[in-house]
Amino acid sequence: MKRKPIRLTQTSYAVLALFQTLGEATSYDLKQLIERSIENFWQLPHTTAYDEPARLASGGYLSVRQEASGRRRKLYALTDLGREALAAWTAEATAAPPLLRDELLLKVFAGADPSPLVPARRAWHEAKLAELERLLGRLRETGVAQGPERTLVAGVAFHRKMLEVLDELAPLAEQS
């Protein structure tokens, strides 16, 4: 495949990192890994799993091989160029500030009483915290790479902190 110059985005690096984990895989495999891993801290549209690998392959960052028979799925894999780009990106000593999009906080800002919103959000954070703690426990038992473990530690801390934030919002709602 002829290589064309493309600009790598944060989404591009996310996809390269996932293929580093997957090895050779289909877009469907990528979509499943997104849902089980980075979607906990990096939201991507589902179409990314299908569009971005083809774009990265056109730039030479992924190889693409189509099955000769059967479903004729396309299998993508990280190339040396993709590994080099990912290594250079992870070595950079900078990272963009996080983006926070929280509809509950937006509603509170707009004047909503947080009281009816807090119980459902609290339940969601408690369930997500339990899920991430289970995953972290399994990872530590299997000795998987430090990157996934570190992001799970951050996720656990995030959900614990959000539960504290919700606990602080509840009395404020009662005072209004």
CATH number, domain containing residue 36: 1.10.10.10
> How far does Cα 60 stand from its chain's mean position?
23
For residue 53, the tally of other CB atoms under 10 A from its CB is 25
Give the span between the Cα atoms of 44 and 90, in whole angstroms: 19
Domain that holds residue 129: 103-175
State what percent of residues in the chain have pLDDT above 90: 64
The reply to whether 74 falls in a domain is: yes
Shared domain for 86 and 109, answered yes or no, is no
Q: What is the mean pLDDT of the chain?
A: 90
Residues 136-166 have pLDDT tens digits of 888 888 876 677 888 889 999 999 999 999 9
| 31 located within any domain | yes
- Same domain membership, residue 63 and residue 20: yes
* pLDDT exceeds 90 at position 80: yes
Whether 164 maps to a domain, the answer reads: yes
Structural domains counted in the chain: 2
133 occurs within a structural domain? yes
Q: In this structure, what token pair is assigned to residue 43?
A: 């939201």
Residue 98, domain member (yes or no): no
Among the three residues 56, 91, 126, which one is the final residue of a domain in this structure?
91
The predicted model scores a pTM of: 0.78
